[in-house]
Structure 1
Amino acid sequence: MKLTAILGASARRRAISLIEGVLYLVIALAVIVGGIVFFQQSQLSNRVTDTARAAVGISSQMRALYQNQNVFGDNVDLTAAAVKSGAVPSNFVGGEAGESIVHPFNGGGVAITGLGRGFVMSYSGISSPACQRMAVIDETGAGPMGIGMAGVTIRAAGEIDIMDGPSMTAPVTPEAVSEACKTGTEMAVFYSASTGGDFDEMMAGFTGPDLGSADRDNPWSYPFPTQSAYSACGFKPSRSDKIVIWKQCQGQWSLDQYGQHGENGYVVCNGSKPTGSSFPGDHPNKVSFLAKARGAWEDCYQAVYYRPPPPA
């Protein structure tokens, strides 16, 4: 009887020990899995922070490099120039020649392209979680990737054409980027020349023939005169003796404002009379801008016929 009791107690202790062992194993696995998840999240957070910090620094340095040139070029690759200038942190410099930019996600790269009154930083191989954290932009054009941002485009590899401008303009909310980041592996961030809240109007498609004269009020670089014909010469008078003087004034105004002595009106005045299609894309003041451009063209075209004949 005593032996039976001893054997029963021993069996119970072994059963309890087995349960405890399984419980310990489950707890250990939970700790390991939790540690792995925590490590992955921590690693993602660190990579996002490093990439965002690098973007802030690079964008700031790019603006400083081009502050006296007004424009960043017309679809010009500025990547090597950024690296050589020291604008790129050393841990983001890659390539055999040390003139390319890399980021810590999937071995992807970064390209910087000058685009009129701004520039674009394009990221390839961006993971979905990183994309969702970095692509947010508030209404002032600020976000994790810097300030003075006009917008962002997120698409699958090879599907982004930066000349189309950003597909999402500021503000860009987490909800807006969530769907795009699910399938998008490339992200293009559009920066304007200005760092303030009133960042420049979108530069893609608005660069115009003279990039240096483009600004938020004239993104198409339309050749407005610096002085109107009316302010220079007034309205056409009724007296014949004053009309002669007025015509001479008009002719001189045309030469002073548009140059190209001896050319016809269409050449001097930048082509035909402007229409809505002359200025592609969206612009908040497009209607008033078109009216102003048509008025300037009519003044120019009229004044061309009062120019003095070209020198022999």
Structure 2
Amino acid sequence: MKFSSPAPETPIPPLDKSSFKKYPIWDFEDIYNQDAPPRHSTCNQTLRNSQDKSFKKAFLPNIRLYLHKDNFNMSEWNRLSHFNNPFGFMGIQYKDVIEALKLIPVPKEPLFPLKPGGYGCVRCAVVGTGGILKGSKMGKEIDDHDYVIRMNAALTKGHEEDVGKRTSVYVHTAHAITASPYFYKKYGYKAAPADEGIKYVMIPEGIRDFQWITGLLKRERVAAGQYRNTRPWTYYSNKFDETHFYVLHPDFLRYVRNRFLKSNNLNASYWAIVRPTNGAFSIFLALHTCDIVSVYGFMTNSYSNYSNYYYEDVKTHVVFYANHDYPLEMNTWKKLHDAKVIRLYQRL
């Protein structure tokens, strides 16, 4: 599909998702913003040296990772308005999110600075909440990485032996950070991780996330929408520092889906809700910011042997929700592991 751009300073009328019976493909679908080349790595084991042909063809090492006030304008709005959330602004009014977009700070430092004595390598562990970790005793191995990335209900207290206790980066949506204390309170979850120096990475899932961002960065109650009157900064355990706050760019999110996790469900009538999981986006964030990536607590072929979550005392079945393609993600992690791009904990 093609489109005609309006005047440079005029937002296009919002596109209606219901006008499309399946995911619409535009002629600029696979074109993404890219930044200056990433830091030069002296790590002999860096995944950027991968010789796997499939990975090399799809991987863009300098894809634009973060959305902020200095890399957004009306032309970008009009382009991104052709893509549904969280890949763009389809169906959203410009006036409803522009305040948030003008507030998002420019990142002051790389997400994962090189640590002294690390032989030039940045080693990251991405830790999901899968039941495969219960009884695994992987905690020390996880904590021995330079950085640890967690997401969603990142409960560690009482489970340190299996999942570790450190959190360097917490990846979340407004829904994840607000709903987790409610849904997982019975397991001991109280709030998002709040380690000293922690960085928070947000996936802008929809308009409610931009309303959240506005309140968060202005230190004001959310003015409208689902989280109206909520005080966002209180959900970060008084550890929120805007210099340690990053918002993932819609181009990065779309690139991850298009190049690595493009589900056949995008051809279904419910295409607009189909997207990779927060955990999937976290893995690909690590692949673009780390040299060596180890993945724990994600779905493998033996998922039925384990409970849904590692913090459950009674075994439950894994729930497959329509908005995520779990088999596709599971097969992708195995493929990346076999290609030696990541190391996937499989408990074999």
Instruction: Give the shorter-chain TM-score range.
Output: under 0.3
Q: How high is the TM-score relative to the length of structure 2?
A: 0.24
Bigger radius of gyration, 1 or 2?
A: 1
Larger proportion of strand: 1
TM-score (structure 1 length as normaliser): 0.26
